[in-house]
Amino acid sequence: MAQAHATTNNIWCPCRTCRNNFFHPIDLVERHLFTIGIDENYTEWIFHGEEESWDANEFDDDVNEVQRDEYVDDMDEMLDDIRLGSFPNVEPIEPRTSEGPTYVEPRPKIFDQLLEDARRPLYPRCANFSKLSFIVKLLHIRTIGGWSVKSFDMLLKLLKDSFSDALLPDSYRESRRMERALGFGYMKIDVCPNDCILYWKENADKHDCPKCGMSRWITPTIKQKKIPHKVLRYFPLKPRLKRLFMSKKTAVSMRWHKEHRVDDSNVMRHPRDSVGWKDFDQEHISFASDARNMRLGLASNGFNPFNNMSKPYSVWPVILVPYNLPPWLCMKDHFFMMSLLIPGPKAPGNEIDVYLRPLIDELVDLWENGVDTYDASTKQMFQLHAAFLWTINDFPAYGNLSGWSTKGKLACPTCNGDTDSLWLKYGRKHCYMGHRRFLSPEHSWRRKKANFNGNNDHRMPPCELSGHDVLDQLNNVGDILFGKGGRKRKRRPDELNWTKTSIFFQLPYWSTLKLRHNLDVMHIEKNICDNVLGTLMSIPGKTKDSINARRDLMILGIKKELHLQEHGQRLVMPPACYTLQGDERRSFCEWLQAVKFPDGFAGNVARCVTLNGCKISRMKSHDCHIFLQRLFLVAIAEYLRPDIRLALTELSTFFRQLCTRTLSIDVLNRLEIDIPIILCKLEMILPPAFFDVMVHLVIHLPREALYGGPVQYRWMYPFERYLGKFKCYVRNKARAEGSIAEAYIHIECLTFCSMYLHDIETRFDREEINVDVCEGRQQSEFSIFTQKIRQLRNSSPEEVSDDLYALACGPDPWVSSYTGCIMNGTRFHTAQREEHRLTQNSVVLVLGDHQGVRVGNHFTSVDSTRKSYKEEPFVLACQASQVFYLKDTSLGRNWLVVQKVTTRNVYDIPSTTVGDEDEDHLIEDEAYQDEEFSPPAHFVMEDDTCLDMPLHRIDIDPILVDDRVMLDHPDPRVEEDEFLSNDSSEDDSDWNSDNTADSSGEDGHSDHENLL
């Protein structure tokens, strides 16, 4: 019967294992039926030609019919969207009707099973779940709850035993088969062990590397299974871009940047407002004409997947982020797209171009030809094109991706060949101090050689290089052979610091971009904070005011007050004016340990402070971000003299203005003028060892913000946190990359499906942490007087008068009393509630005109003893904004510095009506930013006070120098950047303390054994 009605050689298999879920050849179906047996519940052979019996009562309006549109979830809608986006020639899903059986048109096998599962009720007469929707929800709950595979299999077995009629999968592996059917997958591409080539396209069939001769396989013999040395996992970009337009919930948002954004010529709230984006649109008018064409950013960094720093291993994901989205969606991790997973154990270094080739080829095709894409919001097909705007990474990875070595005397990629550096003989490194050339040409500081590096400086700032200028320089580099293990070669002077021509220049538009690689503000802040704090506290190993730094001052002949001095038979080191000593350090640590932040503002910095020994350590990047912008300028007010305090405070204010969510172009232009003055002030105070390349890079940040827009779209915070989740994906440590890849596509699939789920928490409708609530606990404590009178009233009523009893009962409880509330996304507590808590949520701000307030150039202080009367008019909670207090170390006693808090998830973005756009404003673990920095009016002061001030402290005894240190002679100067090697990777230990070490390999087993 089945053969008579079959249209092809494949038919549904009705055995007890396949249960009409799979197409097989007819002879294989016969074997299954003989060996396994037929499914006992398959009594009407509707998949093999038999007419399906229909009961007319099933379609009566008064009977509980199982209709497609009555299911709680929209799985049919999801499949329709995927069908139109991926299989446009497949017929739409037709609901069953009372007119008779539904005839199923032939469809692609990969999609046919899902169409059936979306129509089948979970069990007979189930009105809430189809088979597909139940499986998707169950997998979604497992992911949210972090269940293991074994626990999921045990649950499935229990459900199947309990509900025999339910159409449930037999295992977790079987339930995941829908992922490939929905188009979620990746490619495996073998790699040469020395990173010379990919075994892809023209090299796909080769067994040995044509460059180094290494075998492709670990076991090259024919008898054994061939296992590759390395495997790159590539996640194709085109289907992921098309998927953004498949759902109405995201398709509208893809046009926000052009159709719903209000253009303000002086304010930047989104990369669309930046100079770089606008210039790109003018250069490529055809691309810019369609708002749906995608703008992408690329982020990459290595991490150790084992949480074990003693085992060096480095995996490098390459992540793409779409910038078409509005600000409240743009940097959400569920819109991040992992494109490549570069295997360990070692970082790819300059050979990262080898791994990027599949992505670059696809980006070139997307630019030139595009891809047919279905737009669910307009219900039309269109040709989608994509452009890649810039990279986001830490400074060592900057060198790997750009091809400009970030080490040596020309370490600054922006200054390029005009980088000003100075070799420190005893410090054994370069310093970068020539910031006077960024001042105005007639500035008086250009002639103050004694206060700087011993020379006058009348040079002009370096010229800004365009992409075409860079290509002209790269013509001198020549062809570079990739692969680790090659011989070192001497770098020619005309090559500057170029190590290769970046593969990104294969993109036709790459040389026209204003900003190609971003300097990461996160790591720059982290390193500057470490430098400042290490020097201020004289932390061993981190201070830039070491004995060798003083010896370099002697060689340079500058800052003579800080030179080592002979004191009898010993050498002594005069204490510097910018360091804290003895009780000052302890007082500083006590102040820092007492700091409390509001919930969700920052981590607990007190955990980084050790009073015993006055140590500050283990500060993470976000701790440094908050410390540098909010705490530092208040903490140093008592200890440092005014000129030093002013220079460091202006540096703190610079970063706070730069890191606001909303950037004013006028402010950026002012910052570009101010930052050279700030750095020159620091040059007159601090030793040359302080000015490593990370300090120098600050001078280029305002210009990059002008070209790229607000920093929250271009820094590493969201990507670092995203990579932290990847560590949780590693369930099989023997195959870490496989575990990550399988877990990623699983979560990617469920994230897409969750847009069509209802009555369950998903990433698209999860409540924020601080949701306005009205519930709470009523305070009902009774005084001793009240309890005594009530007991006496019960035992001897005649002894207690009515007036006395009424007095004991107190006022009628017409209102409830609470110790906290959440209003407008902000959590408020009473002062009593937070006495023993590590956070501070009791301080509110109400604008007024009162005494007891001091307004300074950089912060405002209030006298906490001057309190208003209790009878003062009250304000509603919705009228107050939150602040927190820091002890004012300069005024002391009862004075507190007011620090305003910006509510998360609130955006100062004027917008037109967005139609049906789903404005999900949830932000998880984002770095704290001010909405718009508006302190009292202040400009960087160009005073010459520090020119005549002593650099040493006369109130502190000199420090004795260990004679053994003076026996340490410097090594002969070796310019480590003079030689290039194909196996050299950028060492990030000096700049990125958050990065992990390198790591180990691939054994070639199937990824399906490495599931979550």
Looking at the structure, do residues 371 and 509 belong to the same domain, yes or no?
yes
Domain boundary at 181, 201, 217, which?
A: 181
Looking at the structure, do residues 172 and 278 belong to the same domain, yes or no?
no
The pLDDT value given to residue 977: 45
Is the pLDDT higher at 208 or at 970? 208
Looking at the structure, do residues 174 and 317 belong to the same domain, yes or no?
no
**Cα-to-chain-centroid distance, residue 240:** 20
Looking at the structure, do residues 171 and 266 belong to the same domain, yes or no?
no
Domain boundary at 156, 181, 206, which?
A: 181
In angstroms, rounded to a whole number, what is the distance separating the alpha carbons of residues 542 and 682? 18
Mean pLDDT of 325-345: 93
Q: Which long-range contacts (CB under 8 A, 24 or more apart) does 167-171 make?
A: 167/19, 167/117, 167/120, 167/122, 167/123, 167/131, 168/122, 168/134, 168/135, 169/135
Q: Is the pLDDT of residue 266 over 50?
A: yes
Return the bridge partners of 826, or none: 823
Instruction: Write out pLDDT tens, residues 383-436.
Output: 999 999 999 999 999 999 999 999 999 999 999 999 999 999 999 999 999 999
350 neighbors 499 (Cβ within 8 angstroms): yes
The pLDDT value given to residue 403: 94
What's the one-letter identity of residue 745?
I
Looking at the structure, do residues 246 and 150 belong to the same domain, yes or no?
no
For residue 742, is it within any domain? yes
For residue 747, is it within any domain? yes
Q: Is the pLDDT of residue 87 over 50?
A: yes
Looking at the structure, do residues 130 and 259 belong to the same domain, yes or no?
no
Would you say the C-alpha torsion 946, 950, 954, 957 has a positive or negative sign? positive
- 3-state DSSP assignment of residue 826: strand
Give Cβ neighbours of residue 525 (< 8 Å, ≥ 6 apart). 621, 624, 625, 628, 655
Q: How many CA atoms lie within 13 A of 710 on its CB side?
A: 26
Structure tokens at 647: 């220079």
Query: Radius of gyration of the chain from Cα atoms?
Result: 34
Q: Which among 126, 173, 129, 166 is positioned nearest to 152, based on CA atoms?
A: 173
The pLDDT value given to residue 99: 35
- The residue written with tokens 């570079």 in the block is 480
What's the one-letter identity of residue 975?
E
Structure tokens at 49: 């030609």
689 neighbors 552 (Cβ within 8 angstroms): yes
Report the percentage of the chain scoring pLDDT > 70.
77
Cα–Cα distance list, 949 to 51, 292, 561, 636 (Å):
100, 60, 11, 18
Is the pLDDT higher at 600 or at 63? 600
The continuous run of DSSP H or E covering 529 comes out as helix 521-536
In angstroms, rounded to a whole number, what is the distance separating the alpha carbons of residues 11 and 820? 65
939 neighbors 677 (Cβ within 8 angstroms): no
Q: Is the pLDDT of residue 697 over 70?
A: yes
Looking at the structure, do residues 245 and 393 belong to the same domain, yes or no?
yes
Q: Is the pLDDT of residue 532 over 60?
A: yes
* pTM (two decimals): 0.81
pLDDT, averaged across the chain: 81
655 neighbors 667 (Cβ within 8 angstroms): no
Q: Binning pLDDT at 50, 70 and 90, where does residue 734 land? A: confident
Domain boundary at 181, 199, 214, which?
A: 181
Looking at the structure, do residues 496 and 348 belong to the same domain, yes or no?
yes
Report the percentage of the chain scoring pLDDT > 90.
44
CA dihedral 143, 145, 151, 156 (to 10 degrees): -70
Instruction: Write out pLDDT tens, residues 209-261.
Output: 999 889 999 876 666 778 899 999 999 999 999 999 998 889 999 999 988 88
The pLDDT value given to residue 981: 42
Q: Which among 525, 319, 298 is positioned nearest to 392, based on CA atoms?
A: 298
Looking at the structure, do residues 123 and 262 belong to the same domain, yes or no?
no
For residue 777, is it within any domain? no
367 neighbors 507 (Cβ within 8 angstroms): yes
For residue 759, is it within any domain? yes
Domain that holds residue 997: 234-413+470-518+714-765+982-1012
Q: Is the pLDDT of residue 772 over 70?
A: no
535 neighbors 544 (Cβ within 8 angstroms): yes
Give Cβ neighbours of residue 151 (< 8 Å, ≥ 6 apart). none
Instruction: Write out pLDDT tens, residues 163-219.
Output: 988 889 889 988 888 887 788 889 999 999 999 999 999 999 999 999 988 999 987
For residue 318, is it within any domain? yes
For residue 325, is it within any domain? yes
In angstroms, rounded to a whole number, what is the distance separating the alpha carbons of residues 905 and 878? 16
Q: Which among 428, 975, 947 is positioned nearest to 689, based on CA atoms?
A: 428
Looking at the structure, do residues 303 and 382 belong to the same domain, yes or no?
yes
Mean pLDDT of 687-709: 96
In angstroms, rounded to a whole number, what is the distance separating the alpha carbons of residues 202 and 357? 13
Would you say the C-alpha torsion 629, 633, 635, 640 has a positive or negative sign? positive
Per-residue DSSP letters for 923-985? Answer: --SPPP--SS---S--------HHHHS-SB-SSSPPEEPPHHHHT-PPPPP--GGGEE-TT--
Q: Is the pLDDT of residue 466 over 90?
A: yes
Looking at the structure, do residues 248 and 174 belong to the same domain, yes or no?
no
415 neighbors 421 (Cβ within 8 angstroms): no
Mean pLDDT of 93-114: 47
In total, how many domains does the chain have? Answer: 2
Q: How are the residues of the chain apportioned to helix, strand and coil, as percentages rounded to the nearest 5?
A: 40, 15, 50
Instruction: Indicate the range of 103-112, 141-150, 726-735, 879-888 predicted with least confidence.
Output: 103-112
Looking at the structure, do residues 394 and 494 belong to the same domain, yes or no?
yes
What's the one-letter identity of residue 352?
I
The pLDDT value given to residue 63: 34
- 3-state DSSP assignment of residue 896: strand
For residue 385, is it within any domain? yes
- 3-state DSSP assignment of residue 693: helix
For residue 729, is it within any domain? yes
